[in-house]
C-alpha cells in the first residue's frame, strides 16, 4: 500500500448551484467569497482550495484540511456560519457537502 502524505488529511467537497441574482447581490456574493478565502487560507490546517464549474451550471469547491479538527474550526467559524446562512437565504438553489478521508493516493509528474 502506498504511504499517504498525511493520514489525518480530510477533503471537503461542496457541490452547488447558484440562483440568478441582481448585480448588487452578485457583488455581495463575490465580496463574501473573497472574505471566506481570506479567513480559510489563514486558518491552521488549511491546505488548499480549488473550484470548478460544469457547463450545466453546477459548481464544485474542493478544500483540503490537515485534520477533521481543522475542518471543524472552519465550519464553525462565526463569519463562515453567517455566510452559510446568507447562502441558503439568497445565493444557492441547492448544495451538498461531502467530507472524505483519502483511502489511497498516488501521483505522477512529468520531468522537465
- Assess if residue 4 is contained within a domain: no
Whether 9 and 104 have beta carbons less than 8 Å apart is answered as no
- Assess if residue 80 is contained within a domain: yes
- Check pLDDT > 50 for residue 1: no
- Check pLDDT > 80 for residue 5: no
Question: For residue 39, which of 9, 68, 73, 10 has the smallest C-alpha distance?
Answer: 73
Residues in CB range of 8: below 8 A, 6 or more apart: 66, 67, 68
pLDDT tens for each residue of 29-72: 999 999 999 999 999 999 999 999 999 999 999 999 999 999 99
**Counted domains in the chain:** 1
CATH of the domain at 30: 3.30.70.100
Q: Where are the alpha helices (DSSP H) in the chain?
A: 23-42, 68-76, 78-86
Amino acid at each position: 500500500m502506498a504511504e499517504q502524505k498525511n493520514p489525518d488529511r480530510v477533503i471537503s467537497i461542496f457541490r452547488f448551484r447558484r440562483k440568478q441574482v441582481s448585480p448588487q447581490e452578485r457583488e455581495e456574493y463575490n465580496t463574501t467569497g473573497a472574505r471566506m478565502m481570506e479567513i480559510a487560507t489563514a486558518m491552521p490546517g488549511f491546505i488548499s482550495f480549488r473550484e470548478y464549474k460544469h457547463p450545466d451550471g453546477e459548481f464544485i469547491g474542493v478544500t483540503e484540511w490537515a485534520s477533521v479538527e481543522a475542518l471543524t474550526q472552519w465550519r464553525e467559524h462565526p463569519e463562515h456560519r453567517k455566510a452559510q446562512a446568507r447562502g441558503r437565504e439568497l445565493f444557492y438553489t441547492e448544495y451538498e457537502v461531502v467530507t472524505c478521508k483519502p483511502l489511497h493516493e498516488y501521483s505522477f509528474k512529468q520531468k522537465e
